[in-house]
Amino acid sequence: MRLRTLGQLSVEGMTFRREKVLLLLAYLCIEGPQARRRLAELFWPDAANPMNSLAQHLVHLRSLPGALIEDGTRVASGMVCDACTLRAAIREGRHADAVAEYDGAYLDGLTVPLGPDLEEWLYETREALARETRGALIVLATQAAAHGHATQAADLAARALTVGGAPPADELELPKLWHLLSLTGHPLAAQVEREARDLGLTLHAAPVPPATPFVGREAPLRILTHLAPGHVAWITGHAGMGKTALIEALARSGGWSVLHGQDSAPFATLDPLTRQRPSAAGAVSSVLRDPRLRVALDVWEATDGASRQLIEDTARERRGAALVITSRLHPAFDVDVHLQLDVLTPDDLRDHPGLYERTEGHPTLVAAALRGQPLDVRQGARVRALPAPVRDTYLMLALQDAPDLRATRRATGMGADAFALTLSHLTQEGLTAEGGHVYAAAAARDLLEQVPVHAKLLHLKLARALSGPAAWPHYEAARDLWEDSDEDGAAVAAGLRAADLLKRGYPGRAAELLDAFADRTDLAVQHAWALLGVGRYAEALARLEGLGSQEQQTVGAAVARATALVRLGRADEAVQLASRVSGSGPEAARAASVLAGAAFLRGEWEDARRHSQVAADVWQVHGNREARLTELAFVAKAKVRLGGAPAETFRDVLEESRGVPSVRGTALVNYAQVLIDIGQADLADPVMVEALTELDRAGDQLGLAATQINLGVRRHLQGRLGEAAQHYRLAVVTLQGTGNIRHLGLALSNLSEIDGDLSAFEDSLSLLVGAGQHDLVALIRRNTTLGDGDPLRALPS
């Protein structure tokens, strides 16, 4: 149950018409526990037996659940009351909730006769609650004004001025209300101005609302708004972190005198606080000692020395005006509040989707974005004003996703001292964070696009200074400016980048990168592995066979050639090469995997199991968990061919590969295939669906495509041709950008069979022939007659 006292007097959810009983309940709710005799004398001062009257009313209160709590000579109420809820919300800073409770004057429309003391209590409580509601509305209005929402602020101020049951606004409220109403020229502003001037109050012009709303900084703004008289708040932050914007927001909330640091003459900064230029410190000092004054000073370091000294002296006394000071430096003296501004957080910008991602929360860029101004234009003016070495350092940092400070210093040609000072300068200017991270680097890169030749030169300097795969993107961007001496460095960087791509499972991107270096023998083996990864087996073999006889004899080239041969179905040649590899290094593991592949092609399951196990053991020695688990999946596949139960055989590798989605996905595909091969196809479907989830999580495009093809084959064989076609088409889409012609041709040929399109079928086979997939073409022609035959599965590699 809930007692309603604002604008009415009733109990929610029931009809209770005893007005005096409810009045007694309202009194207990808002005043707390009371002595029985005190209540009797207050409510029935003229009754012959006040205690008896009270007792009769308490009988009625007992009929309302939770309304009455009795403790000997004292009584209280346990019922929820809207007026109490309002006051609790104000105490907790929930001003919007408090305002929502106020439906009208307290106990408005009460008709029962009241004694003089009770009547006085009623009017005092009514005015107090109305005034508290007005205060809550003024707080909400100042917050709206601070954030640049002038219309909302004026509307709230108008509501505050006209709160039912409230007394006229006083000398503290009138200037605030006038300030808020003046933001939009509200009609009530003139009325408030007349009332204020009749009281002799001085009204200051309201700041012009900003063109864009002020976002974020709610917590600092709340702290500053409630700064006590005599207290000092110091706001620190690098350039562009929003110190001035916070001061302007504070000014819009009303009641603050905003000063801007200037050093033209003694006391020039504090001069606006007095009616005439002061000739001595005492003239300003008396103003600063006024506890009603609230002063915000922007830029301490630009303030004249006399004003600074006087502010320090006043601050030490901790009496007088509330002071807020902004500075790039830490406090020059003891303060009560120290706020350090940094970039805004995603939560600060939650009402503006996508804004944090564009700006990284940099306040200057946030303001520009809210104005619709291109970020490169906003940053461009600041960057162009930097000295050339500092500007180039900033741009080189922006060109790197994760700035390498050591390499950047080498690229700039600076010594350690000069570079450290440059970084400090960029941080102080708010252009970079500590550690060299550039805020919203994309905007800086957009700026560089306007000077493409200079951008390429900076890329080249970085490429020469960086090491490892990180150098390649910069070499690539600066290709037009390469000198002869850059060719070898670029090739090394490309090779390292390709190795990184292969390790992370992007053979298509690695192949595309190394296609541009097809004339370099030092990249041939790596290029071949990338080509193998995308199914361009014939090209990989041709790349290796283009090497000189001496290069072909290296272990790395021999193993890569053997892998290409086994993928092309030339098992005997592959075995001949792989059998020559000895030792216990990574190449030995790859050679064992080739021997296992050849055994699978021949149907020699025990040999396949044995060689895959050898490969797995070698990879374990080298700590390559993913490669080991991949081989163990093939061990399990061979064991099933030898008569093992699929679920039991694959259990360990599937369990161990949890958390390694690329390996687990491949293992699941193999598991599904053996289930199909031994006639348990119905059990394979959920396994392949799980494989799709794992491979998608891993970003394994080839694995995803192969699984989609195999699911298509299942539906194809079941006669569910529409679903089969959908899986084949998904495979085709997934294969885009991978360069894997083998899988693409397989999907297209199976799809064309469903469509009955002979021309498309032949085009698919021509595509495969052009890629050197002669074995696959022969298999398709042998096993598939258009419209009559079985579609072919994609085999995991």
Identify the pLDDT of residue 761.
64
Centre a 10 Å sphere on the Cβ of residue 381 and count the other Cβ atoms it contains: 8
Of 702, 745, 742, 749, whose CA–CA distance to 725 is shortest?
A: 749
Q: Is the dihedral of CA 508, 510, 514, 520 positive or negative?
A: negative
- Give, as one character, the DSSP assignment of residue 523: G
Name which of 196-200, 563-567, 604-608 the model is least confident about: 196-200
User: Is residue 288's pLDDT more than 70?
Assistant: yes
CA distance 311 to 316: 9
pLDDT tens for residues 294-336?
Answer: 899 999 999 999 999 999 998 998 888 999 999 999 999 999 9
What percent of the chain lies above the pLDDT cut of 70? 91
pLDDT bin (cut points 50, 70, 90) of residue 210 is low
**Structure-model confidence comparison of residues 560 and 197, the more confident one:** 560
The segment with the largest mean pLDDT, out of 572-586, 734-748, 755-769, is: 572-586
CA dihedral 250, 251, 254, 256 (to 10 degrees): 100
Of 642, 721, 715, 718, whose CA–CA distance to 678 is shortest?
A: 642
Identify the pLDDT of residue 737.
61
Residue 494's Cβ-count burial label (10 Å; 0-12, 13-18, 19+) is buried
Q: Which amino acid is at 707?
A: T
Q: Which amino acid is at 550?
A: Q
CA distance 556 to 189: 86
Instruction: Please give the span between the terminal C-alpha atoms of the chain, in angstroms, as a whole number.
Output: 70
pLDDT tens for residues 587-628?
Answer: 999 999 999 999 998 999 999 999 999 999 999 999 998 889
| Whether 118 contacts 43, CB under 8 Å | yes
Pairing of strands 69-71, 80-81: unpaired
Identify the pLDDT of residue 252.
82
User: Is residue 795's pLDDT more than 60?
Assistant: no
What are the structural domain ranges in the chain? 2-113, 128-198, 218-340, 375-485+495-503
User: Is residue 739's pLDDT more than 80?
Assistant: no
- Alpha-carbon distances of 309 from 91, 262, 263, 267, rounded to whole Å: 38, 14, 13, 10
Which stretches of 380-538 are assigned E, i.e. beta strand? none
User: Is residue 103's pLDDT more than 70?
Assistant: yes
- Scanning the structure block, which residue is given the tokens 């929402």? 149
CA distance 557 to 545: 9
97-100: long-range contacts at Cβ-Cβ below 8 A with a sequence spacing of 24 or more? 98/132, 98/133, 98/136, 99/133, 99/136, 99/137, 99/140, 99/159
Section 66-92 average pLDDT = 93
pLDDT tens for residues 339-350?
Answer: 999 999 999 999
Q: Chain centroid to CA 565: how far?
A: 48
User: Is residue 488's pLDDT more than 70?
Assistant: yes
- For the domain 218-340, what is the CATH code? 3.40.50.300
Sheet of 232-236, strand order: 257-260, 294-298, 322-327, 232-236, 337-340
Identify the pLDDT of residue 788.
46
**Partners of 75 in beta bridges:** 34, 70
Of 241, 234, 245, whose CA–CA distance to 427 is shortest?
A: 241
CA distance 369 to 357: 11
| Whether 706 contacts 743, CB under 8 Å | yes
pTM higher than the cut 0.95: no
**Structure-model confidence comparison of residues 488 and 147, the more confident one:** 488
CA distance 701 to 46: 92
Section 745-772 average pLDDT = 71
pLDDT bin (cut points 50, 70, 90) of residue 786 is very low
Identify the pLDDT of residue 392.
94
Centre a 10 Å sphere on the Cβ of residue 432 and count the other Cβ atoms it contains: 24
Residue 674's Cβ-count burial label (10 Å; 0-12, 13-18, 19+) is buried
Identify the pLDDT of residue 768.
61
Section 26-51 average pLDDT = 94
pLDDT bin (cut points 50, 70, 90) of residue 58 is very high
User: Is residue 75's pLDDT more than 90?
Assistant: yes
φ and ψ of 215, to 5 deg: -115, 155
CA distance 390 to 385: 10
pLDDT bin (cut points 50, 70, 90) of residue 3 is very high
CA distance 719 to 716: 5
**Structure-model confidence comparison of residues 695 and 470, the more confident one:** 470
Q: What is the mean pLDDT of the chain?
A: 87
pLDDT bin (cut points 50, 70, 90) of residue 208 is low
Identify the pLDDT of residue 124.
95
The segment with the largest mean pLDDT, out of 213-222, 235-244, 250-259, 784-793, is: 235-244
Helical segments of 603-720, H only: 605-621, 625-641, 646-656, 661-677, 681-698, 701-717
Identify the pLDDT of residue 787.
43
| Whether 756 contacts 787, CB under 8 Å | yes
Specify the DSSP element, H or E, that contains 340: strand 337-340
Of 390, 391, 399, 394, whose CA–CA distance to 421 is shortest?
A: 390
CA distance 51 to 484: 109
Identify the pLDDT of residue 564.
92
pLDDT bin (cut points 50, 70, 90) of residue 109 is confident
pLDDT tens for residues 159-173?
Answer: 999 999 999 998 888
pLDDT tens for residues 667-682?
Answer: 998 899 888 888 888 8
Backbone φ/ψ region at 148: left (φ over 0), alpha (ψ -120 to 50), beta = left
- Scanning the structure block, which residue is given the tokens 């004004």? 145
Pairing of strands 10-11, 2-4: antiparallel
Helical segments of 147-259, H only: 150-161, 173-182, 188-198, 218-225, 243-252
Identify the pLDDT of residue 700.
74
Identify the pLDDT of residue 505.
64
Identify the pLDDT of residue 797.
47
Name which of 120-129, 188-197, 264-273, 765-774 the model is least confident about: 765-774
Section 248-261 average pLDDT = 85
User: Is residue 282's pLDDT more than 60?
Assistant: yes
CA distance 536 to 531: 5
Identify the pLDDT of residue 790.
54
Identify the pLDDT of residue 235.
96
Identify the pLDDT of residue 759.
67
Section 436-457 average pLDDT = 86
- Scanning the structure block, which residue is given the tokens 């070495």? 389
Identify the pLDDT of residue 319.
86
pLDDT tens for residues 336-381?
Answer: 999 999 999 999 999 899 999 988 999 888 888 888 877 766 677 7
- Scanning the structure block, which residue is given the tokens 């799809």? 751
346 half-sphere exposure, CB direction, 13 A CA radius: 3
Section 178-204 average pLDDT = 87
